[in-house]
């Protein structure tokens, strides 16, 4: 009787260990998470566009456990003078939050800030003349703020 009970307990413990190990492996982020994060936080337009597409389909990336939260442009206007900077600010937040969580923020901050500035300048490229000049000046101000305070 004791042997059957001990065998049953041992089998239950082994099954529980297997289930726990499987659950832990399933909840761990894929090994390529750093590469995906890097590819979405570069200065190029293609990096920006790829991130925008992923943001629109976050469920497809749930295994990566990215932090998609944002406060957009923090305490600055999201659309200063009517310039739509909110999405650029959201991508900047994405980079900051996820590199901080990965413990590699300081090694990536300068690139994240540069990517933010490039994103803002791409917004400004939709304008011309004095409006474009004003937009670029506003973008420079936002960039300097995150560079110094971010």
Q: What is the pLDDT of residue 27?
A: 62
Tens of pLDDT, residues 86-114:
999 999 999 999 999 999 999 999 999 99
Lowest-confidence range among 23-27, 28-32, 113-117? 23-27
Instruction: Please list the active-site residues.
Output: 92
Q: How confident is the model at residue 3 (pLDDT cuts 50, 70, 90)?
A: low
Task: Write down how long the chain is.
Answer: 150
Task: Give the pair of three-digit tokens for residue 143.
Answer: 């960039």
Q: Report whether pLDDT(117) > 70.
A: yes
Mean pLDDT of 3-9: 46
Average pLDDT, the chain: 88
Specify the fold of 31-149: Phospholipase A2 (1.20.90)
């Amino acid at each position: 009787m004791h042997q059957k009970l001990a065998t049953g307990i041992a089998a239950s413990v082994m099954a529980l260990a297997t289930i726990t190990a499987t659950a832990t492996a399933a909840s761990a982020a894929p090994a390529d998470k750093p590469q995906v994060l890097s590819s979405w936080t570069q200065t190029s337009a293609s990096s920006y566009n790829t991130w925008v597409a992923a943001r629109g389909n976050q469920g497809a990336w749930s295994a990566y456990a990215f932090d998609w939260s944002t406060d957009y442009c923090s305490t600055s206007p999201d659309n200063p003078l009517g310039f739509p900077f909110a999405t650029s600010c959201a991508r900047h937040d994405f980079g900051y939050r996820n590199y901080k969580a990965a413990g590699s923020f300081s090694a990536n901050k300068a690139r994240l800030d540069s990517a933010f500035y490039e994103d803002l300048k791409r917004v400004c490229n939709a304008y011309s003349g004095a409006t474009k000049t004003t937009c670029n000046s506003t973008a420079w101000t936002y960039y300097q703020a995150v560079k110094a305070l971010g």
